[in-house]
Amino acid sequence: MKLIKEIKEQKELIQTQGRIIKKRDLGKIFFLELSDFTGSIQVVVEKPELLTKLQDLHPETIISLSALVKKSPSDKPELHAQSLEIISAVEEVPDLELQSKEIKENLDTQLKHRAIGLRHKKNKAIFKVQAKILEAYREFMTNLGCTEIFTPLLLASSSEGGAEIFHVDYFEKQATLAQSAQLYKQIMVGVFDRVFGLSKCFRAELSNTRRHLTEGSQLEFEFGYIEGLETILKHEEAALRHILKKVYKDCQVEMQTLKAQELMVPKETFPTYSFKEACQVLTEKFNIDTLEWDDLSTEAEKLLCQYARETYKSDFIFITHIPKGAFYAFRDDNGIIHNVDLLCKEMEISSGGRRIDDYDQLRMSIMAAGMDPKDFSEYLSIFKFGMPAHGGFGLGLERLTMLICNQDNIRQTTLFPSDPKRVASQQL
């Protein structure tokens, strides 16, 4: 059996198999577009006994055939079927149109039939790009000396604080779903110094927006012996530059299919503004009153991205020292938090920062957040046994994919999205 990309003109019959993507019925002759993961090829079917076999079949049918390879009028190899076997017959029309250039159905309908809809060329392009992002991230992090880790998703208590926690029945007891890999990636810095991973995060947030999921994925990074927040910014920026370079080099066809323009990356380092400086920009340039703010609003994020694009020709901007910080975020003697959000194009795509590395401070911070240090005893124990200055970030994989692929809804860049109305793409 030959893969489609291996098919070249030759004298002997070749055997191949694949999925019929298109069928053109001209009566005494059929033209099929046959595809496998390596590409697609035109098949000409003229023999009457083969035509009868195909008569009532629809695209998506799986066939195997033996054929002669000839040159098509457009100078590409073309198959002329000599015998043909139906491996998996499709006798009905799917609920979604898979052959159309653009996806025609609205998002609700698309998600209702997600399993089939993912076969559309545009959806395949999105998830090819996503896979490339992951490949590039793994490559970058491995080269940096980071060890890849998988952290638990079933937890006894909170990992980020706040109320956005899913509780699950766990035999006679209750467990929670991880809000992030935060505590475990810190624990693993105590083991390997430098770690990274791809982790799921579950957020019980009633946010029906185009950028929120209840089950998301984060590109995680945690790094020991940092010199300060700058170390995190430096590695995060380099990781993103590496991802973009690889995607734009290896996914040109997909980017064209998606009509996605390259994100703007400045020649110099990404613009970096402290929260205070960002608020000044918002007030001076956009006339926004930020006096009471401890975090950026969605609108403010959008405006700061616009500002970065106009001023620095950059789709990326770091905002540091945001007053609203997680319980594990490091505060200096002036009470300033050493954290950072990365904004891209219009929204936050990652959060990160230096972490508290002092046992007593961390214990107090947990209590100040209204939580019980007893629930964190395993995590807290590492700070009694030597922890270097450390920090990292969590970067939303679906949001990054959405911005690279020029999609306007995060559900389009999640294979089987969960949100307040759906679980794994199916409406509740």
345 binds, among Mg ion, ligand 4AD, none (CB under 5 to 8 A by kind): none
Size of the site for ligand 4AD (CB under 6 A): 23
Subset of 367-396 contacting ligand 4AD (CB under 6 A): 392-394, 396
Least separation in angstroms between residue 203's CB and ligand 4AD is 4
Q: b/e map of 340-374 (b: 16 or more CB within 10 Å)?
A: bbbbbbbbbbbbbbbbbbeeeebeebbeeeebeee
Contact flag: residue 203 with ligand 4AD (CB under 6 A):
yes
How far apart are the C-alpha atoms of 246 and 264, rounded to whole Å?
15
Q: Residue 132 or 354: which CB sits closer to ligand 4AD?
A: 354
Subset of 391-420 contacting ligand 4AD (CB under 6 A): 392-394, 396, 398-399, 410
Contact flag: residue 352 with ligand 4AD (CB under 6 A):
yes
* The dihedral sign for the CA sequence 186, 188, 194, 195: negative
Q: Of 385, 399, 390, nearest to 316 (Cα)?
A: 399
399 binds, among Mg ion, ligand 4AD, none (CB under 5 to 8 A by kind): ligand 4AD
Quick one: which of 105, 205, 250, 375 contacts ligand 4AD (CB under 6 A)?
205
346-375 mask for Mg ion (x: CB under 5 A)?
Answer: -----x------------------------
Residue with tokens 């100078």: 75
How far apart are the C-alpha atoms of 73 and 36, rounded to whole Å?
22
Query: What percent of the residues of the chain are helix, what percent strand, and what percent coil, each to the nearest 5?
Result: 35, 30, 40
Contact stretch for ligand 4AD (CB under 6 A) within 36-44, 233-241, 344-352, 376-384: 344-352
Least separation in angstroms between residue 351's CB and Mg ion is 3
Q: Of 382, 109, 352, nearest to 232 (Cα)?
A: 352
How far apart are the C-alpha atoms of 222 and 390, rounded to whole Å?
7
Check: CB of residue 184 under 8 Å from CB of residue 152.
yes
Q: Residue 21 or 371: which CB sits closer to ligand 4AD?
A: 371
Contact flag: residue 258 with ligand 4AD (CB under 6 A):
no
Contact flag: residue 350 with ligand 4AD (CB under 6 A):
yes
Tokens of 48: 């009457």
Sequence-separated (6 or more) residues with CB below 8 Å from residue 145: 193, 194
Contact flag: residue 254 with ligand 4AD (CB under 6 A):
no
Q: What are phi and psi of 214, to 5 degrees?
A: -95, -20
Residue with tokens 């395949």: 124
Contact flag: residue 129 with ligand 4AD (CB under 6 A):
no
Size of the site for Mg ion (CB under 5 A): 1
Check: CB of residue 44 under 8 Å from CB of residue 80.
yes
Report the helix count and the strand count for the chain, using DSSP H and E.
Answer: 12, 18
Q: Residue 41 or 343: which CB sits closer to Mg ion?
A: 343
Contact flag: residue 176 with Mg ion (CB under 5 A):
no
Cα–Cα distances (Å) from 202 to 39, 275, 291, in that order, read 37, 27, 32
Tokens of 334: 């002036």
Strands 316-320 and 339-344: antiparallel
Contact flag: residue 161 with ligand 4AD (CB under 6 A):
no
Least separation in angstroms between residue 160's CB and ligand 4AD is 6
Beta-bridge partners for 169: 174
Q: Residue 78 or 419: which CB sits closer to ligand 4AD?
A: 419
Q: Residue 182 or 351: which CB sits closer to Mg ion?
A: 351
Residue nearest to Mg ion (CB): 351
Subset of 53-92 contacting ligand 4AD (CB under 6 A): none
Subset of 312-351 contacting Mg ion (CB under 5 A): 351
Q: What are phi and psi of 363, to 5 degrees?
A: -60, -45
Contact stretch for ligand 4AD (CB under 6 A) within 21-29, 85-93, 198-206, 314-322: 198-206
Q: Residue 350 or 425: which CB sits closer to ligand 4AD?
A: 350
* DSSP H helical ranges for 173-223: 182-192
Q: Which residues bind Mg ion (CB under 5 A)?
A: 351
Q: Which residues bind ligand 4AD (CB under 6 A)?
A: 160, 180, 182, 201, 203, 205, 212-213, 216, 218, 348-353, 392-394, 396, 398-399, 410
